[in-house]
Structure 1
Amino acid sequence: MEQWAFWLWEEHSDQIEISLRLLGAALAGMVVGLNRDIHNKPIGMRTLALVSLGSAIVILSGSVYEGLHFGQDAVSRVVQGILTGLGFLGAGVILRDRDRMQVHGLTTASTVWIAASLGVTAGLGAWFITVAGTLATLFLLTYGKRLEDRLVRLFGGNPDADDKLED
């Protein structure tokens, strides 16, 4: 068993480290978002996990995959421009209910932003980061709400509060 684990680490240490970095970023966003959920703030665990994961994806794609025909500073400027522009697009899907303190569309805006991040990684040829980031995103969007509600209940919050964020 030890030989198999050692071989796996030796052969795939870069991919394992990237996966752990992506997981760590998503978990950090989830922890902050869970705190916001417990305190009924207008942002949630999935939203912040997606933002954090997207940031990690962009950083890893820019720092790990340097074998491009362009200089890293040029690629960095392009990435900054893409993400800035997508921030405005994402802001367009966020709506606030005038009658209640509910905000709609933050998770959708996050998915717009993370889709841009995944596009950047694919454009850079960072295929492992693209696939791992896509799988992590799909996991968060598919199971994140159920996990979020369970954790909010576990730590004493109310997942159905009136002034809570609506995604």
Structure 2
Amino acid sequence: MSYSSVWLPTVAAVLLGGLIGIERQMSGHSAGLRTHMLVSLASAMFVLACSELTSQLPLDLTRVVQGIAAGVGFIGAGTILKADRKHEVFGLTTASTIWLSAAIGTACGLGEYPLAITSVLLTIVVLVGLRPIEERLLNQRKRVQKPGDPTND
């Protein structure tokens, strides 16, 4: 494995993961720029390291991808918090973006740059573009529910 063969996938993983991390950082979420960059880089690194081995040994690269998808779930789980109220859970979107950053790094490690770039663009649309719609729906829901109403639980 040469520097030239790892330069593009690792740099692409860091930059693309960073784009998602910037949005999370600017939104004030616990996992931000560096977390998303490192998760994406680590995923690319696992794929690149194992793809080098697959050329020497009969290894199945899909098992590496499965391991990344399962393993990064533990990092994402750490960002999910359950509040005192019955139905309040925070951090699901951040956990999802961490998982997505791992997928983007995996795609970069596999050389699937169109998939990685398209996924980042769609992620930014979902995170930024849909925020006003989500806020409008939440405000509408709050107006319908009245404090102390037993049907709110």
Using structure 2 for the length normalisation, give the TM-score.
Answer: 0.51
User: Residues 113 and 124 of structure 1: is their aligned pair in 2 closer, same or farther, counting only changes over 3 Å?
Assistant: same
Q: Percent identity?
A: 36
Quote the offset at 1:159 in angstroms: 6.4
Using structure 1 for the length normalisation, give the TM-score.
Answer: 0.47
User: Residues 73 and 146 of structure 1: is their aligned pair in 2 closer, same or farther, counting only changes over 3 Å?
Assistant: farther
Instruction: Show structure 2 runs of 5+ residues with no match.
Output: 1-50
Q: Any residues of structure 2 matched to 1:55-70 within 5 Å, and which? A: 70=54
Quote the offset at 1:101 in angstroms: 2.9
Partner of residue 77, structure 1: 63
Kindly indicate whether residue 76 of structure 2 is the aligned counterpart of residue 90 of structure 1.
Answer: yes
User: Which of these residues, 112, 115, 126, is aligned with residue 140 of structure 1?
Assistant: 126
2:132 maps to amino acid: R
- Give the secondary structure class of the aligned counterpart of 2:141: coil
Radius of gyration: which is bigger?
2
Q: Any residues of structure 2 matched to 1:3-152 within 5 Å, and which? A: 70=54, 74-99=60-85, 101-150=87-136, 152=137
1:76 maps to amino acid: T
Q: Does the aligned pair in 2 maintain the 1:149–1:159 contact within 8 Å?
A: no
Q: Distance in 1 between matches of 2:67 and 2:81?
A: 24
Q: Distance in 2 between matches of 1:119 and 1:108?
A: 16
User: Residues 74 and 96 of structure 1: is their aligned pair in 2 closer, same or farther, counting only changes over 3 Å?
Assistant: same
1:137 maps to amino acid: T
After superposition, the CA RMSD in angstroms is: 3.1
Question: CA deviation digits over 1:33-54, x for unaligned, max 9?
Answer: xxxxxxxxxxxxxxxxxxxxxx
Instruction: Show structure 1 runs of 5+ residues with no match.
Output: 1-67
